[in-house]
Amino acid sequence: MGVLNVTPDSFSDGGRHFRFGHLNVGGAVDRGAEILAEGAAIIDVGGESTRPGAAPVEAAAEIERVVPVIEQLASRFDVAISVDTSRRAVMQAAVEAGAGIVNDVRALRDPGARAWAAAAGVGVCLMHMQGEPPTMQDHPDYRDVVAEVAAFLAAERDRCIAAGIGAEAIAVDPGIGFGKSQAHNVALLRRLAEFTALGCPVLLGVSRKSLIGQLLGGRAVEQRLYGGLGLAAYAVSRGAKIIRTHDVAATVDAIGVLGGLLGEQRGDQPGDQLQETPR
């Protein structure tokens, strides 16, 4: 899953597609083409930063950012497109524009989102987050982070199925860095088997995150590529099926080498694990 942020303030690439305060749609679509050429199975388009400390934006602004990009990507390329949003209005606008997957850091808890997703027949990714982006890293606290996150994801999966979303259309994400300390993140990664045991494809997003910098003694964002590749390969070796990354070409190569060593077929792409619900 290749990251395509159309935000002015994302932690790694915020502002890349903005010029003088306005979104450069053509530049964002060109980056989407690069992501596809680099080997991504899914392009994940996001119009609101969820980095620690990020301020929320209005749904209308989010729609203005993601819809024109998704429309052009959908019309030009044969690729799965996901929308990274928590608002039902944005989900609906993005799917009408051509997206087929909703990647939600709040696990479809916006009122009406589950029923809408069931009726729309989209794939969904449910992520765990303790707190909200502006303050989630202030004092994250758990008794047993893995058990609590796994229980949350299992419960949200069951709520989605009860709402009519097909089980085959659901992926789960433990939410590395979303209301978790360094120790919490390490525990989640060490015990990934407890998430694959839920029976849904596990999506993992660790690309360029502070976890990598901390594990490597304080590396800046631009120095975290190789550490991120190590984490991506580790996660796939432990059963993760979808890797969300800013660095698509390098990550595809790392996973491809791992797959070759493990005897897996290159045709079994991560994106094949998440399907739209039959209409």
Q: How many other CB atoms are there within 10 angstroms of residue 76's CB atom?
A: 12
Q: Rounded to a whole number, what is the largest CA-CA distance in the chain? A: 49
Q: Which of 87, 106, 114, 209 is catalytic?
A: 209
Q: Which of 106, 157, 241, 244 is catalytic?
A: 244
- Tell how far CA 165 is from the center of its chain: 19
User: Active site includes 180?
Assistant: no
3-state secondary structure of 227: helix
Short-list 114, 118, 30, CA closest to 72 = 30
Q: From its phi and psi, is residue 108 left (phi > 0), alpha (psi between -120 and 50) or beta?
A: left
What does the alpha-carbon distance between residue 177 and residue 19 come to, in Å, rounded to a whole number? Answer: 29
Q: 12: Cβ–Cβ under 8 A, 6 or more apart, which residues?
A: 5, 207, 208, 221, 246
Q: Which tokens sit at 153?
A: 């994801």
Q: Label the pairing between strands 80-84 and 101-104.
A: parallel
Look-up: residue for tokens 């792409």? 269
Amino acid of residue 119? A
Cα torsion 156, 160, 161, 166: sign:
negative
Q: How many residues are listed for the chain in this entry? A: 279
User: Active site includes 241?
Assistant: no
Which residues are marked as active site?
209, 244
